[in-house]
């Protein structure tokens, strides 16, 4: 089997600057769905173009990876489905349009959930280290899987067992090819290009020419097919949501009057420009979910675009599909019972209207 190893790091520094912003785009309203379940904290991390959502539900002494479906599919019922965990804590991070889910679980094991038998693997939950064993790689252990793209390539964090260091990686399920992207790095995002770009921290790796690009003061979490990257940038001792265009110019997206925030996801542009989602702090230090269309003058507070239940706040948007679905979490304060006064957190799905 073919095996790749990381080339020498090439420092190509991006310039931090403010982009000339255009007039604000027309606002989009959303319908709101609390994914629940009642009585438990939950978080939604990823969504595909079909409105299928992945995340986690916290339970006693752990957490379960879950898949929320808008209608029956893959032999599962509509609503919340618990994905069988490898062991202990688990969370589902990403789902592609083929219904393939990746995440973290089993006390440090990256997993892949398949809706049916594929890639010589069984339908259901698979430990991705099974694939490494079949390739013949014994020096790495896949600990976390954060993103699976449309081409069935997975990126995340692996432990290099010879010196116990963490490495970013890409695992191609089609070709059973494992690429080590280097030490002290974690792969957080991978786009759908034929030769994809991978980001995580302050770097980007391109399979097109096997090169690294330093993102300088941008700490990346996601990259779209146009090479637009989002994450956070430091300013004045705080971290703020940020966007980097394909030319390398970084925009600090600011806050809602507070000090801090993060951009968590960006989709691919269609008829309109790409959309970025994340959170920004208010003057009171409260996280509020936002959306920002690339090139517009200001980001929108998603709480102003959704009709919400009384006392419920959208705190953070964590994922967006190309079709416009947004997921994340929000919540409020428990008003009665033994946990009165405590905060609760529920996964949410926003559907554009």
Residues 247-267: tens digit of each pLDDT: 999 999 999 999 999 999 999
Could you tell me the CA-to-CA distances from 283 to 206, 255, 304, 325 in Å, in that order? 39, 9, 16, 28
What own/partner pairs with CB < 8 Å and gap ≥ 24 does 118-121 have? 118/173, 119/152, 119/173, 119/174, 119/176
Residue 135's pLDDT is what? Answer: 95
Residue 18's pLDDT is what? Answer: 35
Provide mean pLDDT across the span 99-111. 91
Q: Which residue, 10, 17, 11, is CA-closest to 243?
A: 17
Residue 228's pLDDT is what? Answer: 98
Distance CA 337, CA 275 (A): 40
Question: Quick one: pLDDT band at residue 161, thresholds 50, 70, 90?
Answer: very high
Strands 101-105 and 109-114: antiparallel
pLDDT surpasses 50 at 10:
no
Q: Which two tokens stand for residue 295?
A: 């090139």
Residue 128's pLDDT is what? Answer: 96
Mean pLDDT, the chain, rounded, equals 91
Distance CA 131, CA 119 (A): 9
Q: Which residue, 207, 215, 175, 213, is CA-closest to 191?
A: 207
Distance CA 235, CA 22 (A): 23
**Could you tell me if 30 and 325 are in contact, meaning their C-beta atoms sit under 8 angstroms apart?**
no
Strand partners, 110: 104
Provide mean pLDDT across the span 119-148. 96
The CATH architecture annotation of domain 3-352 reads 7 Propeller (2.130)
Strands 177-183 and 3-4: parallel
Distance CA 263, CA 219 (A): 10
Residue 86's pLDDT is what? Answer: 63
Cα pseudo-dihedral 198, 199, 202, 207, rounded to 10: 10
Every domain of the chain and the residues it spans? 3-352
Question: Quick one: pLDDT band at residue 216, thresholds 50, 70, 90?
Answer: confident
């Amino acid at each position: 089997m073919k095996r790749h190893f990381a080339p020498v790091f090439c420092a190509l520094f991006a310039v931090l600057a403010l982009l000339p912003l255009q007039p604000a785009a027309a606002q989009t309203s959303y319908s709101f769905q609390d994914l629940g379940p009642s009585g438990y904290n939950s978080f939604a991390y990823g969504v595909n173009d079909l409105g299928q959502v992945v995340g986690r539900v916290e339970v006693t002494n752990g957490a379960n990876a879950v898949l929320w479906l808008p209608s029956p599919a893959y032999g599962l019922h509509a609503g919340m489905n618990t994905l069988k965990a490898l062991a202990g804590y688990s969370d589902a991070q990403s789902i592609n349009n083929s219904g393939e889910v990746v995440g973290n679980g089993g006390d440090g094991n990256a997993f892949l959930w398949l809706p049916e038998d594929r890639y010589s693997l069984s339908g259901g939950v698979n430990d991705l280290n099974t694939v490494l064993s079949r390739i013949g790689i014994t020096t790495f252990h896949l600990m976390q899987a954060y993103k699976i793209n449309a081409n069935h390539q997975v990126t995340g964090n692996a432990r290099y067992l010879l010196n116990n260091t963490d490495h970013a990686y890409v695992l191609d399920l089609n070709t059973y090819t494992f690429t080590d992207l280097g030490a002290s790095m974690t792969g957080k995002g991978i786009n759908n290009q034929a030769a994809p770009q991978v980001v995580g921290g302050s770097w980007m790796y391109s399979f097109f020419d096997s090169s690294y690009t330093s993102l300088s003061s941008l700490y990346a979490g996601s990259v779209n097919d146009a090479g637009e990257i989002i994450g956070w940038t430091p300013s004045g001792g705080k971290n703020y949501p940020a966007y980097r265009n394909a030319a390398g110019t970084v925009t600090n997206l600011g806050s809602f009057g507070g000090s801090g925030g993060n951009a968590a996801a960006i989709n691919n542009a269609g008829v309109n420009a790409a959309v970025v989602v994340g959170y920004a702090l208010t003057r009171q230090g409260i996280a509020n979910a936002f959306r920002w269309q690339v090139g517009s003058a200001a980001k929108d507070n998603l709480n102003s675009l959704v009709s919400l239940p009384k006392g419920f706040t959208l705190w953070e948007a964590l994922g967006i599909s190309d079709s416009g679905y947004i997921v994340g979490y929000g919540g409020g304060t428990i008003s009665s019972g033994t946990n009165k006064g405590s905060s609760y957190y529920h996964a949410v799905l926003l559907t554009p209207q």
